[in-house]
Amino acid sequence: ETGVTQSPTHLIKTRGQQVTLRCSSQSGHNTVSWYQQALGQGPQFIFQYYREEENGRGNFPPRFSGLQFPNYSSELNVNALELDDSALYLCALRGTGGYTFGSGTRLTVV
């Protein structure tokens, strides 16, 4: 139990559709980052939000977007889904001891 909640845990979408993934915690963290982890690979950094503003972005196209809310919960939105978007999506909250990951959302695009 990490204290970081992601929903949903599993999701199946059709190519071309849009998806929204959510991340929250019981205690407020002003920095949240999102990652994509394909099978057998390390997590790839998508972007980071600090106090509701994006302040870092990895090599992902604009159809990957996000939001952070005043209560520090966060969303990852992916438009125009492609088959290669199938992966485990992780959010991580930054604390004094580093980043703590949620349990992830497994997205399958068919």
Partner 1 sequence: QKEVEQNSGPLSVPEGAIASLNCTYSDRGSQSFFWYRQYSGKSPELIMFIYSNGDKEDGRFTAQLNKASQYVSLLIRDSQPSDSATYLCAVNTGNQFYFGTGTSLTVIP
Interface residues with partner 1 (CB under 8 A) are 2, 33, 35, 40-45, 48, 50, 55-56, 58, 88, 90, 97-104
Q: How far is the CB of 109 from partner 1 (least distance, A)?
A: 19
Q: For tokens 């939105």, name the residue.
A: 77
Q: How far is the CB of 104 from partner 1 (least distance, A)?
A: 5
Closest CB to partner 1 among residues 32, 109: 32
Residues counted in the chain: 110
